[in-house]
Structure 1
Amino acid sequence: MPATTDLANAWFATRGFKPFAFQRQVWAAVERGESGLVHASTGSGKTYAVWLAALRAYARTANSTAKPAPLQVLWITPMRALAADTARALQAPLDDLELNWNIGVRSGDTSSAERARQARRLPSTLVTTPESLTLLLTRAQANEDFAQLRMVVVDEWHELLGNKRGVQLQLALARLRRWHPGLVVWGLSATLGNLEHARDVLLPAGGSLVKGRQDKRFVVDTLLPEAIERFPWAGHMGLKMLKQVSAEIDASESCLVFTNTRAQAELWYQALLEHRPDWAGLIALHHASLARQTRDWVERSLKQGSLKAVICTSSLDLGVDFLPVERVLQIGSAKGVARLMQRAGRSGHAPGRASRITLVPTHSLELVEAAAARHALAAGQIEARQSPRLSMDVLVQHLVSMALGSGFRPAELLEEVRSTWAFRELRDSQWQWALDFVCHGGSSLTAYPDYQRVEAHADGIWRVANERLARRHRMGIGTIVSDASIQLKYWSKGGGGKQLGSVEESFIARLKPGDTLVFAGRVLELVRVENMTAYVRRSTARKAAIARWNGGRMPLSSELADALVERLDAAAHDHFDGPEMRAVRPLLELQATWSALPTQHTLLAETFTSRQGSHLFLYPFAGRMANLGLANLIAWRVSRVQPLSVSIAVNDYGFELVSPSTVDWATYLPRALSTDDLLEDALASLNAGEMALRRFREIAQISGLVFGGYPAAQKSTRQIQASSGLFYEVFRKHDADNLLLGQARDEVLREELEIERLHRQLLKLSTLRLDLHDLRRPGPLAFALLVEGMRETLSTEKLADRIARMVADLEKVADAPNGRTRRGS
């Protein structure tokens, strides 16, 4: 057996590999006791760079007959589904080098027998999740459990960085660093656009930034449709491409077919089986709603190379290593460069192998997105992720967690908390509020024993003394709160109205009583929302909002949106580079003839008059959510000057406002796009109060205000919403300075309204020249928005018939001699 410092080279030699320079750089840094962040392409060897560094530095028990070393390395993974796969990857060098280390997994899927073994003695390396790590820290003997810990590895750091799970991990790492000031921490990431921020959040005291192999070759191509629609519309699932996709699968040994929603994955899986019945048993389906056993079988079969294709969602986005996968197909736009890279990296998952992804457009305009995505990827325009700041619900939960077991001293814990990036600006008053809140529920809950969770003892240590409250808290540790649906019922004064079904909660939260919506082909008026039920009655309104589920609303990223406008700008100057742009040229030339193409220096606006009223089409290319915010903001501002009723339709490129009365948009638009009073107007233009109430439910669960129930008696979302709603009203009326209320409002602004992106977009639009065109008929860009609006008044069958008639009429005009453009020109 070689000396421990040669372990890494010895193992690489057994596999016929030579270490890369970045791997040697990590090994040397760990030998010196340094922390860092490794950023390298998917499949380039990040895992073994850090793992072999740990073995070189800490594995001193080779060939020993003694017990395996106690916990030395903690390996954090963002998904418990990845934990077992990661453990298998880490085990290989231990077996080959005959090292007397053992590896264990601790997650929500770990058996009670294995938990009992770990309670007696933790393995040399533990693969776990942020939630399970916090649970381990609540044990009375936690300090002893982690006594010999030397290194923490955070895998897929980009998946944790931008959310509350990342904040929870920051706090847990702060506790481990206090016990071990020299603790070595390394993060692994492949798709980040703001590396310095990512490093600083993970390593507040500083660390190395190791940029590994970035020469990963991505082959991005597009499956061109047989015919280009000059009047495209979103909403179909892309099944017109079924024969072509089937042929591409047939020509591949093994591939992944990514979709953006579970419904789309189900539809494509069934369509492929109907098209190729002989593929039964050779293709499979994978998404998060499937049973764990089914997903495990699919993943094992992929690794063994026994499946020809798997139709999947983001459930297979992250680091599972499927070497046999030859290529990836993406149905519809990936909507972001990082997501495109992540999915492409599931193929060619090994150093030196190219990753190939083929984009399958579901409508013609996605050809432009495909060209933009390839250009953005080549230019390295990857989306940034920002860590949340001052998440008080996570801090409150952490205080109770640390009060379990051995407890904490407030001064020591404050220093620890402030050492994290997320809470580095925590004020003394905010800290005192958090202490008061866990001690007696703040100023409004002092009379309730269940909120007297933490007590200060005579020895100066704060502990959870009540075993019942301790048990409840352990069951609620974590920041993952599931999405919820709202039940729709007809309003009845006597109660007991007929139940219609359910819609997305965030959709209902945007509506105010009196607003209309479409459900099951009926136009309904919202009467009131109570707990988790929306009461409605029939309406005679002709236009209404229609619910769309989050998966179908995956917003276009700013980076991809900018790349998209670059491609359109080039087309406006008669440059059609690449097969996608040449294919979509007839559509773009028709848009330029009937109106204009958006450019990097103009803001395209179009007006059009129809029987429905006066239409405005505006194209900020801000993504669906920001465009919705802009549309509501403009409608709100104009309505204060000229009373009018406006209906809204939105897509990633722009929005449509329709008013029964004529509006002088040329006069109103420049004023409506001002950044003045943005915060107040944005809050007023949407039902921000109701949105904050819904957001507060998540905050109430994370902070422990609301208990989700015991495993055998889980509370329903309706019960949780009712409880959190009571707290919301109590705080609003009697404790207006409650920091959790303020956090709910801030999260609505940041995540629901995307207020920062909205502000940036308004600033950007102010630099552009308004290019306003009065249309005789809707062009390709406007047509896509018209369909979005019609979707709100027509059933699926009637919509398809109406669209077919409209397209036929518009194509006749476009092909006529005075249409000034011909198909294929």
Structure 2
Amino acid sequence: MLQGSVPTEIEAWFSNRGWRPRRHQLEMLGASDAGLHALLVADTGAGKTLAGFLPTLAAFCPSRMGTLKPPEGLHTLYVSPLKALAHDVQRNLLAPISDMGLQVRVETRSGDTPSDRKARQRARPPHVLLTTPESLSLLLSYPEAQTLFGSLKRIVIDEVHAFATGKRGDLLALALSRLQAIAPGMQRVGLSATVASSEAYRSWLAPWGDIDSVALVKGEEGAPPQVSIMLPEEERIPWSGHAATWAIPQLYEQIRDHRITLVFTNTRFLAEYIFQWLWDANEDNLPIGIHHGSLSKEARRKVEGAMARGELRALVCTASLDLGVDWGDIDLVVQMGAPKGSSRLLQRIGRANHRLDQPSKAILVPGNRFEFIEAAAAVEAVAQGTRDGEDFRPGGLDVLAQHVMGCACAGPFREEDLLAEIRSSLAYAWLDEDVFRRVLDFVATGGYALRSYDRFKRIVRERDGTWRLAHPQHAARHRINAGIIVDSEMLDVRFRNGRSLGKVEEMFGAGLRPGDTFRFAGLDLEVEGLKDMEVLVRAARRSASIPSYSGLRLPISGHLANRVREMLADRAGWARFPDDVREWLEVQDWRSHLPAPGRLLVESFPHQGLAYTTYYTFEGWNANQSLGMLLTRRMEDRGLGPLGFVATDYTLAVWGLKAVDNPVELLSPDILTQEFVDWVQQSHLLRRAFREVAVISGLVERQQPGKRKSGRQVTFSTDLIYDVLRKYEPDHLLIEAAWADARARMTDVGRVGDVLDRAGREIDHVKLDRISPLSVPVLSMIGRENLPSGQADDDLLLEAESLGALAMRTDPVEEDSELPDVD
């Protein structure tokens, strides 16, 4: 690719630091000079952000401007998935701007930005604005958007893989279409280290899906990462559990031996839990912090500042710090528990030694034996440079409805013009006139069943076909309610003096009473009372219990699941496994079967007077949970007396009064057209999905001026509307959108379908006389799957050891022992 000419100011800046512009940075400059959009895929530490901004800096260099004045107005937008990333980029961008003496004003804009600064930014925008998809969408809803964005030359989307495939990506795609209509010459730039398919992302990034208009720039290769798996020094890898607290002494030694260690966990609860264990082991009183999304803005900023200044020795965190934060002094990354995906792991590894020429060092700490194999598969994938990621899907109708309302807030529009603009986005290229008219009708009336209510009449159509706001007050209502992220309902945790510590889920908070204690933000807290949406606390005088965050469970990726199955089938490769893991697999292979690629292993055996069946799907917790709901319903219909099920990422175990003789019949594909529909309609899944799409689409408002509805109020409102629509308008636009969410996100029905496909082709049904070694991890979870890990871990480990002893016995349970039957 043609490399762009570097202005002398930028050349001097690199030279003064003993650096050189990297090839991919020059190619990004060349793509911009050629008038192309660009996707840069480069390793962490390769200078992606600088590469994305290099054409912007060049545009302000006197040597390139000549006699021209510096560009006026908003020149470049930078969009990131995290507020912390925008602030970090601002900090790192200001240094080169100052060093080169460029006249460039850089500001951030997010939900935390004061209202007076937001108003000033609309009237007198900076040259570079760093923001999020939600804040950008709100900016586009103002009448001055045409003027504000008319001068826009570039938009840089950082960590594009983190949100492009979800609803935030839908919102951003619609914003890109609107920006391109306002500023036709605007260049789009995407940055990422971990895209699985560069072609798919180029198509998403391009207007009208014109992939040839998007240059693909690949970064220079850096030093390969050094990734290892921590093993117990004396004991065995546990059969079950996820907290990996066995590793705390060894982890603490690693923290002592390194400058700064970043400890990643997969959930907020585990972050709190691991932080407590590390603090208890902190005999040297090392400064150790904690960071996750439920903490207050002030608490997060304080920790981020301490890390940037090098004042911490370790920081326990969640995905809140996955992306792009540049703290160069981190020399070790630790992943507690399973990585769940090679791209996610690679992203986290890249936080260590944030430089291309130095290897990142990372340690994976498996919580159990399955997680060890998953960790080994992830290490292998990283070494081979293999990525995984979610597939793109059609854009959501609820997001589209929000965007249409935002466009109306900015000014009147013509239907055919807005449709053409929306369809220029790949996410909505499928949109036809009929569906778009349904969206317009919904925004205008709420739909057939709700059109008699004035509150749902937000836009009206003039005689000339132009659509406009029904009343100016709808604009203000839209702006305080717009957004894509619908959090689980949260309660503020505050001291009496007003200091906020963060938020806990409403379900957890509602169960607290004065005198109860819990651990949060690294503190032992005692509840003084609950008031409105707040939990009032004080410092506890005794050790506290620990809150359980329901949160989002990260499923194992399909790519990593396939690698795990391949490792299980590769008997020669077991030699590199620890002795206890190898013995576990060898006994499983002797007693039963091992899951194989392209096949489904099902085991049936008696245990404690009940009939158990285990399905080794490797399709993730969400899909297995959904499959468990469906199978128990079908078993009930067939008189098998199901009593319960439990799911992990790898396995589904179902137990009942009668044995499953023919799992193929239970796993027939029609389960997705019969039992699935019945289950979703009768459960709260569709109601929960409807609540989210109703909020996103603007049908139900979360906030009114000076007042925010409680989660209970929002749920009550959406349930009433849901019941009306189900009765009088079952084909309503939002019912359709809720179904799409229930299928794709809440039930992961696509991966359930993959299980059924394998069952229809190749199934290994093994009938055993006792529990198998491979089924021990899932069976040890029975009765404990809904408990906080801290409360359940000790009992779980004892139960697992007992089950494991039974499974690993080589003597027959009864008088004679036969080889397993295989159907």
TM-score under structure 1 length normalisation = 0.86
Question: Does 1:179 find its partner at 2:182?
Answer: yes
Please show how residues 587-602 of structure 1 align to structure 2 within 5 Å: 587-600=584-597, 602=599
1:321 to 316, 322, 326: 326
CA contact (8 A) 2:83 2:131 kept: yes
Q: 1:732 is paired with a residue of what secondary structure?
A: helix
Matched, 1:619 2:616: yes
SS in 1 for 2:669: coil
Deviations 1:163-206 (A, max 9, x none): 11111111111111112222111011111212211221121233
Q: Which position in structure 1 is the counterpart of 2:560?
A: 560
Distance across 1 between alignment mates of 2:592 and 2:238:
14
2:81, 2:162 within 8 Å by CA — same for their partners in 1?
Answer: yes
Change (3 A) 1:224 1:289: same
Aligned pairs, number: 756
User: Which SS does the other structure have where 1:422 is aligned?
Assistant: helix
Contact persistence 2:584–2:774 (CA under 8 A): no
Q: Is 2:255 aligned against 1:249?
A: yes
Relative to structure 1, is the Cα distance of residues 332 and 664 closer, same or farther in structure 2, using a 3 angstrom cutoff?
A: closer
Q: Specify whether residues 32 and 574 from structure 1 end up closer, same or farther in structure 2 by C-alpha distance, changes over 3 A only.
A: closer
Shift of 1:6: 3.8
* 2: CA distance, partners of 1:160 / 1:35: 19
Letter in 1 for 2:135: S
Query: Which amino acid in 2 is paired with 1:753?
Result: T
| Mapping of residues 58-457 of structure 1, within 5 Å | 59=61, 69-203=72-206, 204-206=209-211, 207-227=214-234, 229=236, 232-235=239-242, 237-280=243-286, 282-457=287-462
Q: Matched residue of 1:444: which SS? A: helix
Match of 1:514 in 2: none
Distance in structure 2 (CA, Å) of the matches to 1:365 and 1:182: 52
Aligned to 1:519: none
The Cα shift of 1:127 comes to 0.8
Asked if the contact 1:69–1:101 (Cα under 8 Å) also holds between the matched residues in 2, the reply is: no
Q: Do the aligned partners of residues 386 and 57 (structure 1) sit closer, same or farther apart at CA in structure 2, a change above 3 Å counting?
A: farther
Deviation at 1:600, TM superposition (A): 2.7
Deviation, 1:279, is 2.3
* Distance change (3 Å), C-alpha of 1:702 and 1:323: same
Describe the superposition over 1:102-137 as per-residue Cα deviations: whole angstroms up to 9, x where unpaired.
111111111233223313210111111111111211
**Does structure 2 retain, via aligned residues, the 8 Å contact 1:591–1:597?**
yes
Secondary structure of 1:247's aligned partner: helix
Change (3 A) 1:634 1:801: closer
**In structure 2, C-alpha distance between the alignment counterparts of 1:57 and 1:792, rounded to whole Å:** 57
Alpha-carbon deviation of 1:64?
9.6
Q: Distance in 1 between matches of 2:684 and 2:266?
A: 28
Q: Structure 1 counterpart of 2:643, which letter?
A: V
- 1:267 deviates by 2.0
Q: Secondary structure at the match of 1:320?
A: coil
Q: 1:711 to 1:163 in 2, by over 3 A?
A: farther
Distance in 2 (CA, whole Å) between partners of 1:165 and 1:802 is: 38
Q: Determine helix, strand or coil for the equivalent of 1:790.
A: coil
Question: Which letter maps to 1:69?
Answer: E
Determine which of 745, 748, 770 is the counterpart of 2:764. Answer: 770
Residue 573 of structure 2 is matched in structure 1 by 575
Q: 1:43 aligns with which of 40, 45, 60?
A: 45
Give me the whole-angstrom Cα distance separating, in 2, the residues matched to 1:790 and 1:3: 65
Q: Identify which of 772, 775, 780 aligns with 1:787.
A: 780
Aligned-pair identity in percent equals: 33
Question: Distance in 2 between the 1:669 and 1:214 partners?
Answer: 48
Distance 2:250 2:116 in 1: 50
Contact 2:222 2:358 in 1 (8 A): no
State the one-letter code of the partner of 2:51.
A
- Any conservation in 2 of the 1:76–1:129 contact (CA below 8 Å)? yes
What is aligned with 2:748?
A: 754
Cα distance in 2 for residues equivalent to 1:470 and 1:65: 39
Stretch moving more, 727-736 or 635-644: 635-644
Structure 1 contact 224–583 (Cα < 8 Å) conserved: no
The answer as to whether partners of 2:612 and 2:655 remain within 8 angstroms in 1 is: yes
More deviation, 214-223/416-425: 214-223
Q: Distance in 2 between matches of 1:619 and 1:347?
A: 35
Deviation for aligned residue 1:636: 3.2
- Cα pair distance change 1:560/1:504, threshold 3 Å: farther
Q: In 2, distance between residues paired with 1:182 and 1:357? A: 43
Counterpart of 2:821 in structure 1 is none
- CA drift of 1:643 comes to 4.6
Aligned AA for 2:275?
Answer: Y
Deviations 1:224-280 (A, max 9, x none): 112454771225x22121111111111111110111122222222222222124325
Structure 1 residues 226, 16: CA separation in 2 closer, same or farther (over 3 Å shift)? same
- Look up the equivalent residue of 1:222 and give its one-letter code: I
Letter in 1 for 2:30: A
In 2, Cα distance between the equivalents of 1:794 and 1:325?
Answer: 34
Displacement after TM superposition at 1:801 (Å): 5.2
Give the Cα separation in 1 of the matches to 2:612 and 2:802. Answer: 22
Give the whole-Å Cα distance in 2 for the aligned partners of 1:65 and 1:284: 49
Question: What are the within-5 Å matches in structure 2 for residues 513-662 of structure 1?
Answer: 550-551=550-551, 553-570=553-570, 573-578=571-576, 580-582=577-579, 584-600=581-597, 602-660=599-657, 662=658
Please identify, of 181-190 and 300-309, the stretch whose mean Cα deviation from structure 2 is larger.
300-309
Give the 3-state SS of the residue equivalent to 2:46 in structure 1: coil
CA distance in 2, matches of 1:591, 1:44: 45
For each residue in 1:668-717, what CA deviation from the matched residue of structure 2 results, as whole angstroms up to 9, or x when unmatched? Answer: 21222232453333223555552111110111111111111236311011
What whole-Å deviation, never above 9, does each CA across 1:530-584 have from its counterpart, x for those lacking one? xxxxxxxxxxxxxxxxx985447321111111111111111xx243253x45562
Alignment partner of 1:647: what SS? strand
CA contact (8 A) 1:673 1:765 kept: yes
Instruction: Please tell me the residue identity of whatever aligns with 1:224.
Output: L
Question: By how many angstroms is 1:720 displaced?
Answer: 0.7
- After superposition, give the CA deviation of every residue in 1:754-805 in whole Å (9 maximum; x if it has no partner): 11122123223433341414133x2332221221223269998798458637
Q: Which amino acid aligns with 2:448?
A: S
Q: Deviations over 1:459-486 (max 9, x none)?
A: 6542224232221111112111111489
User: Helix, strand or coil for the counterpart of 1:743?
Assistant: helix
Q: Any unmatched runs of 5+ in structure 2?
A: 492-504, 511-546, 818-823
Give the conservation status (yes or no) of the 8 Å contact 1:288–1:315. yes
Deviation at 1:381, TM superposition (A): 3.2
1:713-732 aligned at under 5 Å gives the runs 713-732=707-726
Distance 1:290 1:671 in 2: 48
**Residues 369 and 405 of structure 1: CA distance in aligned 2, closer, same or farther (over 3 Å):** closer
Distance 1:652 1:84 in 2: 35
How far residue 808 of structure 1 moved from its aligned partner, in angstroms, is: 5.0
Look up the equivalent residue of 1:240 and give its one-letter code: W
Structure 2 Cα separation of the partners of residues 350 and 504 of structure 1: 43
In structure 2, the CA distance between the partners of 1:809 and 1:376, relative to structure 1 (3 Å rule), is closer
Point out the more displaced range, 585-594 or 618-627.
Answer: 585-594
Answer whether contact 2:414 2:466 (CA < 8 A) is retained. Answer: yes
- C-alpha distance in 1 between matches for 2:194 and 2:564: 20
